[in-house]
Chains A and B, each alone.
Chain A
């Protein structure tokens, strides 16, 4: 039997409610809960329970419970502690309006060398004002005089 799927040409009042852009506090809660989802996934992969997470973070279990159920406003430090507790680092990005951001989490060896970010060691450029040893001694004597 076919199920009737309603695709109205005009949004219903309920659909308009859900289509409205989230307010900043809504978006903050959404981002926080998304972080919790990622954290829980890593905890599950590593076999870490909430008590162990709290120990690794150096906080009490009630703090972790409040974090997981979204009843606390996250401090960045808390997010970083939680990430480190599961061996992860917190990354962030501001995405300008009209653009989209995508994260790709990968190991270095999973990316072809052509596309890897270049990390060349920085060597100081020679300075035009670098004095040789003899010149330093002559300069010191001039100052003394």
Chain B
């Protein structure tokens, strides 16, 4: 599992860091849900990990906070689950959060096809220490 940064836009890292400072219970729930998906690769529980179709997945908590991810299964990739954006914030609707996540995914896929612009994938620590490339 990796978090996505495109250029200077590292919204998910910023979101998670702010969440830990402002709403620690929600951060802990989200961290736990992400851990289940990334470490143990369990996806049966749709209350925590939901396939939104169109290649987008939602990792969510009981406190309304969620992140959106997509699978990068490109032949040259490491088969990563890319955490793209967050949701559940105040003043935002879920439909707009999902639309934003889909747009980020599309942009990532488009950038991947270009030679001179590369998005950056930040490995989350559990994978960083034991990472084995495919």
Contact = CB atoms under 8 A, between A and B. Distances in A.
A17 interface: yes
Interface string B7-33: 000000100110010000001110111
Interface in B59-94: 62, 72, 74, 76-78
Most buried by B among A4, A5, A7, A23: A5
A70 B47 CA distance: 8
B16 A19 contact: no
Contact of A68 (B42, B47, B125): B47
A16 B122 CA distance: 13
Contacts, number: 106
Contacts of A40: 44-45
Nearest to A28: B32
Nearest to B33: A33
B113 A33 contact: no
B45 A6 contact: no
Nearest to B27: A17
Nearest to A71: B62
B52 interface: no
Contacts of B118: 1-4
Interface residues of A, number: 34
A11 B20 CA distance: 17
B47 A44 contact: no
Contacts of B119: 3-4
A33 B44 CA distance: 10
A12 B118 CA distance: 20
A34 interface: yes
Contacts of A11: 125, 128
A16 B125 contact: yes
Given A14-B122, A16-B125, A29 B44 contact: no
B69 to A, nearest CB: 15
Nearest to A17: B20
A44 B43 CA distance: 12
8 contacts: A1-B112, A1-B118, A3-B76, A5-B2, A6-B122, A22-B28, A22-B31, A33-B36
A-B interface, 9 closest residue pairs, ranked by CB to CB distance from nearest: A69-B47, A40-B44, A19-B125, A37-B42, A15-B125, A4-B118, A14-B13, A18-B125, A26-B28
Given A4-B118, A4-B120, 10 more contacts: A3-B119, A3-B121, A5-B121, A7-B131, A14-B16, A14-B17, A15-B125, A18-B124, A22-B31, A69-B62
Interface of A: 1-8, 11-19, 22-23, 25-26, 29-30, 33-34, 36-37, 40-41, 44, 68-71
